[in-house]
Amino acid sequence: MQRNDRCMVDVSIIIVSWNARAYLVKCLESLRSQRSVHPTETIVVDNASADGSADAVEKQFPEVRVIRNEANLGFARANNLGIQRAQARYFALVNSDIEVLDDCIDRMVAYMGGHPRVGVLGPRILNPDDTLQESCQRFPKLWRALAQALGIHRLLPSVAYCSHARTGRVEALTGCFLMARREALEQVGGLDERFFMYGEDLDWCKRFDDAGWEAAYYTGAEVIHHGGRSSANAPVRFYLEMQRANRQYYLKHHGMEAAHVYRYILILHQVLRVLRALLLLPLDRKGSRGMSHKLERSFACLCFLLTLREGQGAGAA
């Protein structure tokens, strides 16, 4: 990406959307209600939605630039298309199911301005009921994957997550809302497009860290994340995408041997999930589809893992 030395705006807000029209409109309304002192631009990258999302944005938000993709290019590639067209000093990658709360953008810009070694920043993420959503992750390690497969992370949350109690440096951030510094992004590069959906945020934070930039969590800015609204359109497919992405991370950052071990940890995890679901299914007196959906996802994941050829999906850094 070539540097634009004459940035016309301070913040470029990039939103990737796929069949999430109602949430996208709500997201854009929350951005419009911001009374930011910093000039911003908003770019929506639509991944060939079939629900009229792009038309709705053009009609209701004429100030927003819309990029219409002819196919679902995935989260990473679509964001990179938005980044290529952005002009600002800071890039805010925002999920379509986010609501931005008061002064969030201004507060994050101010924090970035006062902390020049922070390359990527995340706000406090809230669920729709105002409870905290965990977003400060730890970099994947095999021992952590095993602890999660065995359920140990439920007793020791610090296995998987950094502290959310205060502002400060963290290992990695969830990608539902990230603000990146242009200088850092130009050094590190955009999102890795081999991650179709999921995992690109961990990979990006790892690359920032390897290049000497910090990832930080800022409790002074808040957003609401409704969570999983695009993936809800095809839950099994996107669950498999998550597993592929996790394995791709190990291939890229830890090598084939670690990816091989991770595969068997993941098989163990899915077997335990199937056994648990089978035990609980007779107790599901409400007739809920939740348990059967979990079984469907885990069986699909096991089929993927057991038929996977080693080296499939491998890629260099």
Q: Is the pLDDT reported for residue 139 higher than 90? A: yes
- Phi and psi of 205, rounded to 5°? -65, -35
Confidence (pLDDT) at 137: 94
**Secondary structure letter of residue 159 according to DSSP:** G
With cut-offs at 50, 70 and 90, classify the pLDDT of residue 236: confident
Confidence (pLDDT) at 6: 47
Beta strand 40-46 pairing with 65-68:
parallel
With cut-offs at 50, 70 and 90, classify the pLDDT of residue 295: confident
- Burial 111-150, CB ≥16 within 10 A → b, else e: bbeebeebbbbbbbbbeeeeeebebbbeebeeebbbbbbe
H/E run at residue 168: strand 168-170
Please tell me the number of Cα atoms within 13 Å of 314 on its side-chain side. 13
Question: What's the mean pLDDT in 221-245?
Answer: 79
Q: Could you give the CA distance from residue 308 to residue 312 in angstroms, rounded to a whole number?
A: 7
What tokens were used for 248?
A: 């791709």
| Residue ranges covered by each domain of the chain | 11-230, 234-307
Least confident piece of the model among 205-209, 226-230, 283-287: 283-287
**DSSP states of 226-266:** ---TTGGGSHHHHHHHHHHHHHHHHHHHHHHHHHHHHHHHH
Least confident piece of the model among 11-20, 75-84, 167-176, 269-278: 269-278
Least confident piece of the model among 132-146, 193-207, 223-237: 223-237
Sequence-separated (6 or more) residues with CB below 8 Å from residue 90? 10, 11, 12, 108, 109, 112, 179, 180, 181, 182
With cut-offs at 50, 70 and 90, classify the pLDDT of residue 316: very low
With cut-offs at 50, 70 and 90, classify the pLDDT of residue 227: confident
8 A C-beta contact, residue 201 and residue 242: no
- Burial 228-256, CB ≥16 within 10 A → b, else e: ebbbeeeeeebbbbebbbbbbbbbbbbee
Q: Could you give the CA distance from residue 261 to residue 290 in angstroms, rounded to a whole number?
A: 30
Confidence (pLDDT) at 300: 87
Sequence-separated (6 or more) residues with CB below 8 Å from residue 140? 202, 246, 249, 250
Q: Is the pLDDT reported for residue 311 higher than 70? A: no
Least confident piece of the model among 16-30, 96-110, 291-305: 291-305
At the fourth CATH level, the homologous superfamily of domain 11-230 is Spore Coat Polysaccharide Biosynthesis Protein SpsA; Chain A (3.90.550.10)
Confidence (pLDDT) at 101: 96
pLDDT tens figures, 6-65 = 457 999 999 999 999 999 999 999 999 988 899 999 999 999 999 999 999 999 999 999
Count CB atoms within 10 A of the CB of residue 203: 23
With cut-offs at 50, 70 and 90, classify the pLDDT of residue 299: confident
CA distance between the termini of the chain: 18
Question: What's the mean pLDDT in 75-91?
Answer: 96
Question: What's the mean pLDDT in 203-232?
Answer: 90
Rounded alpha-carbon distances, angstroms, from residue 240 to 27, 75, 194, 243, 275 = 27, 15, 15, 5, 19
Average of per-residue pLDDT values in the chain: 90
Beta strand 172-173 pairing with 136-137:
antiparallel
Q: Which residue has the higher pLDDT, 243 or 225?
A: 225
pLDDT tens figures, 240-275 = 888 899 999 999 999 999 999 999 999 999 999 888
